[in-house]
């Protein structure tokens, strides 16, 4: 009887493992389909670029952060702007999804690729939204091609700071996550999602306890952002580029477009010093700092949205209702 019991236990465990493997393969297939849906590839003067568009109106170039692609760019723009008023243009940066890695994958070269995409789409001027690592090529674009910038918005910017550089969490869990990224480990990432999601929450720059204490909608948002990094293998080349940036001082004083910069004191990527530095160098730049929120601005998200709306309305680039709301705060 004991032997039969052991056999039943082994069979039960094998069945559970098989079911988990089937679910993983199904989830990964769905993620691959989603990552290839809704985008186009255009041949520009600087090479192939994947991008997607949504909406009509004032052009808004949404430059995604690490772990993203055009899909994250669309999500960021929709989260922070009124989709019905803007023509959102969301490229996949070098190494993400279907945009290849060129010999020169610097932020300056990426900025040139953004300019080439706008030219291909006949966009003379755009609002530029750069989030996290996407702020690097956003700023480079504003420096190199100020004629293209209607307004510049930098959210938790992973930029140069002379005093306290952006950094990554050094915990053992984050080291595991970086290993998964370096090898493009889809299964390792999925396993961490299921077994220890707090590791990945910390890896994306948010204290797990902050996410756990947030309203359910915010918790679900954080988990959805973590899940959306899959398939990791289609994004790992870009993440590896972003993980070893050549951050250096830029002639920020050349930027004369209206500029808004947002960060949080508890961002685990330490973007606040860079945000403060950039704000001090760009004439008239507005800096908004939240005490809590982490890299994903968990909690003040709606306030950020209204702040952006008010900023763009004041620049004549969004409905005046946003300006009224911002003035009332």
Domain boundaries, the chain: 40-167+247-328, 172-239
pLDDT band at 36 (very low <50, low <70, confident <90, very high): low
Please give the distance of CA 250 from its chain centroid, rounded to a whole number.
Answer: 22
For residue 105, is pLDDT > 60?
yes
For residue 14, is pLDDT > 50?
no
Query: Mean of the pLDDT values across residues 41-57?
Result: 95
Cα separation, 279 vs 262, whole angstroms? 10
Lowest-pLDDT range, 38-47, 139-148, 163-172? 163-172
pLDDT at 76: 95
3-state DSSP assignment of residue 56: coil
Query: Mean of the pLDDT values across residues 7-13?
Result: 42
For residue 121, is pLDDT > 90?
yes
For residue 32, is pLDDT > 70?
no
Mean predicted lDDT score pLDDT of the chain:
87
Cα separation, 201 vs 208, whole angstroms? 6
For residue 16, is pLDDT > 70?
no
pLDDT band at 183 (very low <50, low <70, confident <90, very high): low
Nearest to residue 159, comparing CAs of 255, 231, 59, 233? 255
**CA quadruple 193, 292, 154, 278: dihedral positive or negative?**
negative
Per the CATH hierarchy, to which homologous superfamily does domain 40-167+247-328 belong?
A: Alpha/Beta hydrolase fold, catalytic domain (3.40.50.1820)
Question: When comparing pLDDT for 247 and 183, which is higher?
Answer: 247
């Amino acid at each position: 009887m004991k032997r039969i019991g052991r056999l039943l236990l082994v069979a039960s465990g094998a069945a559970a493992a098989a079911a988990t493997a089937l679910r993983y393969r199904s989830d990964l297939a769905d993620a691959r389909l989603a990552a290839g849906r809704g985008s186009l590839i255009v041949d520009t003067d600087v090479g192939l670029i994947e991008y997607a568009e949504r909406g009509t109106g004032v052009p808004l170039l949404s430059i995604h952060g690490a772990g993203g692609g055009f899909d994250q760019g669309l999500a960021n723009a929709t989260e922070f702007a009124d989709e019905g008023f803007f023509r959102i243009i969301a490229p996949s940066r070098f190494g993400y999804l279907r945009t290849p890695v060129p010999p020169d994958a610097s932020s300056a070269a990426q900025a040139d690729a953004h300019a080439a995409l706008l030219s291909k789409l006949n966009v003379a001027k755009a609002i530029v939204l750069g989030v996290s690592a996407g702020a690097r090529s956003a700023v480079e674009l504003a420096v190199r091609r100020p004629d293209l910038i209607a307004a510049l918005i930098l959210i938790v910017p992973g930029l140069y700071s002379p005093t306290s550089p952006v950094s990554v969490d050094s915990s053992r869990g984050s080291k595991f996550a970086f290993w998964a990224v370096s090898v493009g480990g889809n299964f390792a990432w999925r396993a961490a999602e299921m077994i220890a999601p707090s590791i990945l929450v910390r890896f994306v720059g948010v204290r797990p306890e902050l996410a756990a204490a947030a309203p359910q909608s915010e918790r679900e948002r954080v988990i959805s952002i973590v899940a959306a990094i899959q398939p990791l293998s289609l994004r790992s080349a870009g993440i590896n580029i972003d993980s070893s940036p050549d951050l250096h001082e830029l002639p920020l004083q050349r930027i004369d477009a209206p500029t808004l910069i947002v960060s949080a004191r508890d961002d685990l990527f330490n973007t606040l010093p860079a945000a403060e530095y950039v704000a001090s160098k760009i004439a008239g730049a507005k800096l908004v700092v939240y005490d809590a929120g982490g890299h994903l601005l968990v909690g003040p998200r709606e306030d950020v949205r209204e702040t952006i709306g008010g900023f763009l309305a004041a620049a004549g680039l969004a409905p005046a209702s946003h300006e009224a709301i911002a003035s009332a705060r």
